[in-house]
Amino acid sequence: MDENKLQKLLQEMTLQEKIEQLVQLDSSFFDNDGVCTGPVEKFAMTEEQPYRVGSLLGVRGAAKIIDLQDRMMALQPHHIPALFMLDVIHGYQTIFPVPIAIGSSFNPELAEQVTAVAAREASAAGVQVTFSPMIDLVRDSRWGRCMEATGEDPWLNARMAEHMVRGFQGDNMARKGKMASCIKHFAAYGAVQAGRDYNVTELSEHTLLEDYLVSYRAAVKAGAAMVMTAFNTIDRKPCTTNRRLLRDILREDMGFDGVVISDFSALRETIVFGTSRDHADAARQGIVAGCDIEMMSECYLHHLEELIRTGEVSETMVDEAVMRILRLKNALGLFENPYKDASVEDEKRLIFCEEHQALSRSVAEECIVLLKNDGLLPLSDKQKIVVAGALAQDREITGSWALFADWNQTITMRKGIETLYPQADVTFFPSDNVTEDMLAAARTADVVILALGENQRSTGESQSKADISLSKEHTAMFEAVYAVNPRIVTVLFGGRPLAVPELAAKTSALVEAWLPGSCGCYALADILFGRVNPSGRLSMSMPYCTGQLPISYGANLTGRPKPEKDGFFAFTSNYLDAPNEPLYPFGYGLSYGEVSYSPVTLDSYILQKDGQITACVTMENRCELPVKEAVQLYLRDMHGSVIRPERELKGLQKVSLQPGESRQVTFVITEDMLRFYDADMHYVSEPGAFRLWIGHDSLTENSVDFILA
Ligand code: NOJ
């Protein structure tokens, strides 16, 4: 349909119809046969009204969506198709590692492959819009939702965000197998105070713009069709009614012209926040702020008409919101084909097909992070191995958003090892009970592998923790085994970086497996036995203890830095009872063997404002295995009108190297990479001295200085 036809359609719609387009209900309104049996009284709706709303959330399955779309179009006066939206976060039924793990692949192209497969499966099941990716920056692992984010770094998050959006939408979301992407949660949900979910945020303008909004800017530029508001406040105003955030920053400044949706009942919750007096006031503030669709609350439905009649809201605002929704339906091709890709045959053919399972496995190979290795890894199948811990046989390691997966098909760690290494001498004790049998076997084993950490029920929405140390039970188990045999490989599962300083000091090897998805434990087994060389890098620093949170590698400087040497620190910025540094920083991760780097060279030490300089290193793979090396480029502005981070990731290349192979890697540095919000909030670069590092991780000392003229 062209724009004129859409405008004509809008003009023909009654005000009531328009308002219904702004309402989203969830699947609880309909039974399995598409009959409305849901909470219509609670929402003060007629039985017919749920069929007339603009969009539904949580309905899935080709047959169901085709049937419901028919019913809805029949009852919508202009037969406007409904939008079907769902949380397809890290896979639909083929589940990939959780986003915090995907971030740890340090491979944005891989993230694009993941969302492309998620879109292929979900669109066959009739879903047209996904509430994904979540691109919130997160530096506090108390927040359970850090699992859904790609980590602590603005630049890495931005690259992940744009690739994930592209994977879902492609160049044209009407195409088969593509869907619209709704980025969330706008904005700074990852900065909820003290890591407690749904809490308020307190951020400086600099931190908001410079750190938290970078991924949004990138995803909007990449064409994300929708934006979801966040539950938290910015500047003490709930995001869903935050006009400055939604209109001035998102629409005006970032140029976003797609659809804004509230989070689940977030508009109604502004009454609980105390910033809206009642439902009518919430409706007024929501539409004025620029929230187009109200998810699962009824303020717009019951109050917009009256607000327009009394002149408190102009009908133009409603028209603009409806037009954005109609344009999205049109961009998805729904006026021509309201079922989009819903197809029972395609569901059977595509969902959890072998190709997708293989990708779930190979993605996990790059997400798992080796944090310590005293030489105990890789294992050999000649060793006597004991594997202990309930997580070794737990299927709940796919992630709390893996709602539609068949968990019976999840590959556990035990299944991964038994299937791929049947010849290995492995005894399993898949329990967290420290039994005499287990200790006796551990005592005589060559290696004990402990599966510790958290399963998917411990992270996700509303799963914040005040203490992120390893549970007492798992600590006791580690200590009991350590007392009989210190040759321990610890595999940590979970969706958040845990604080494990004592364990890390004692264990011989430490592997962060995250929540690796449907087939990720095949990758885990291959890494443990050395068929795959680990290449993941932490997307979030692993703190030393809860008290360090929030923490990030790029922390801003202080006027009283702690001296580098150990000893007595008088009046410096330090803790009495913990180091300042995390246990393992962002970007950190080992392989089996070393990749060496030559010193960085520059083709010029002076960067002209409109010019470029090229930085170069030569790497050599000294491992006995092929390796995928995440080459990281960091920059530091040595002097600024405001304090600048100690270092910032500004470039990344994941390079495959055969054993013994050398390769030259170059990065081009341009002035725009050096910009930031200066003391007057102008986004500029300031001439002067800069330092540049290229190396294996954020600790690299391989640096060179240059000047911006
Ligand atoms: C609430 C969550 O915050 C959001 O991420 C999700 O997309 C919606 N519920 C819909 O399920």
My answer on whether omega of the bond before 187 falls inside 30° of 0, hence cis, is yes
Task: List own/partner pairs for 275-283 with CB under 8 A and 24 or more apart.
Answer: 275/237, 275/238, 275/241, 276/241, 279/303, 280/306, 280/307, 282/241, 283/307, 283/313
Q: Give distance in angstroms: CA of 95 to centre of ligand 1.
A: 18
For residue 157, give every residue at least 6 positions away whose Cβ sits within 8 Å of its Cβ, in sequence order, or none: 103, 135, 137, 149, 150, 151, 214, 215
- Is it the case that residue 23 has pLDDT exceeding 90? yes
Pick the catalytic residue: 211, 263, 281, 346?
Answer: 263
pLDDT, average across residues 629-638: 98
Give CA separation, 433 vs 278, 336, 389, 426, 436, in Å.
53, 59, 8, 18, 10
Phi, psi angles (nearest 5°) of residue 173: -75, -10
Residue owning the nearest CA to atom 10 of ligand 1: 264
Give the 3-state secondary structure percentages of the chain, helix then strand then coil, rounded to 5: 35, 20, 45
Residue owning the nearest CA to atom 1 of ligand 1: 264
Q: Is 263 a catalytic residue?
A: yes
Q: Give distance in angstroms: CA of 296 to centre of ligand 1.
A: 11
Type of residue at 293: I
As a whole number of angstroms, the distance between CA 89 and CA 97 comes to 10
- E strands, 81-179, are 83-86, 129-130
- Ligand 1 atom at minimal distance to the Cα of residue 148: 5
Q: What is the pLDDT of residues 238-248, one digit of tens each?
A: 999 999 999 99
Asked whether 612 and 668 are in contact (CB, 8 A), the reply is yes
Residue owning the nearest CA to atom 9 of ligand 1: 264
My answer on whether omega of the bond before 133 falls inside 30° of 0, hence cis, is yes
- Helix axes 266-273 and 299-309, enclosed angle (nearest 10): 80
- Give the confidence band of 566 by pLDDT, cuts at 50, 70, 90: low
pLDDT of res. 569: 66
pLDDT of res. 333: 98
Q: Give distance in angstroms: CA of 653 to centre of ligand 1.
A: 33
Residues framing ligand 1 (Cβ under 6 A): 57, 87, 131, 184, 263-264, 461
pLDDT of res. 611: 97
- E strands, 97-179, are 129-130
Q: What is the pLDDT of residues 54-85, one digit of tens each?
A: 999 999 999 999 999 999 999 999 999 999 99
pLDDT of res. 400: 86
- Is it the case that residue 111 has pLDDT exceeding 80? yes
Q: Give distance in angstroms: CA of 363 to centre of ligand 1.
A: 25
- Give the confidence band of 627 by pLDDT, cuts at 50, 70, 90: very high
- Is it the case that residue 555 has pLDDT exceeding 70? yes
Residue with tokens 């922390």: 555
The secondary structure of residue 236, as a DSSP letter, is: T
Residue owning the nearest CA to atom 11 of ligand 1: 87
Residue owning the nearest CA to atom 4 of ligand 1: 263
Q: Greater confidence, 442 or 572?
A: 442
Neighbours of 365 (CB within 10 A): 24
Q: What is the pLDDT of residues 37-53, one digit of tens each?
A: 989 999 999 999 999 99
pLDDT of res. 567: 63
pLDDT, average across residues 567-572: 74
Percent over 70 (pLDDT), the chain = 99
- Is it the case that residue 33 has pLDDT exceeding 70? yes
Cα 431–Cα 433–Cα 434 angle in degrees, nearest 5: 120
Asked whether 398 and 411 are in contact (CB, 8 A), the reply is no
Pocket mutation for ligand 1, best pick of 98, 131, 227, 262 (most atoms within 8 Å of C-beta): 131
How many helices (H) and strands (E) would you count in the chain? 20, 27
Residue owning the nearest CA to atom 3 of ligand 1: 263
pLDDT, average across residues 209-217: 97
Q: Hey, CA dihedral for 175, 179, 182, 183, is it positive or negative?
A: negative
As a whole number of angstroms, the distance between CA 246 and CA 256 comes to 9
pLDDT of res. 570: 78
Q: Give distance in angstroms: CA of 257 to centre of ligand 1.
A: 22
As a whole number of angstroms, the distance between CA 263 and CA 251 comes to 18
As a whole number of angstroms, the distance between CA 270 and CA 276 comes to 6
- Is it the case that residue 381 has pLDDT exceeding 90? no
- Average pLDDT for the chain: 97
pLDDT, average across residues 276-289: 98
Percent over 90 (pLDDT), the chain = 95
Q: What is the pLDDT of residues 648-707, one digit of tens each?
A: 999 999 999 999 999 999 999 999 999 999 999 999 999 999 999 999 999 999 999 999
Query: 3-state DSSP call for residue 503?
Result: helix
- E strands, 319-471, are 369-373, 384-388, 425-429, 447-453
pLDDT, average across residues 133-149: 98
Q: What is the pLDDT of residues 634-665, one digit of tens each?
A: 999 999 999 999 999 999 999 999 999 999 99
Q: What is the pLDDT of residues 413-436, one digit of tens each?
A: 999 999 999 999 999 999 999 999
pLDDT of res. 554: 83
Q: Give distance in angstroms: CA of 231 to centre of ligand 1.
A: 10
pLDDT, average across residues 211-225: 98
Query: 3-state DSSP call for residue 191?
Result: helix
Pocket mutation for ligand 1, best pick of 264, 297, 463, 464 (most atoms within 8 Å of C-beta): 264
Of 47-61, 208-222, 548-562, 635-649, which gets the smallest average pLDDT? 548-562
- Is it the case that residue 556 has pLDDT exceeding 80? no
pLDDT, average across residues 147-156: 98
pLDDT of res. 568: 61
Q: Give distance in angstroms: CA of 326 to centre of ligand 1.
A: 23
Type of residue at 516: P
- Ligand 1 atom at minimal distance to the Cα of residue 231: 3
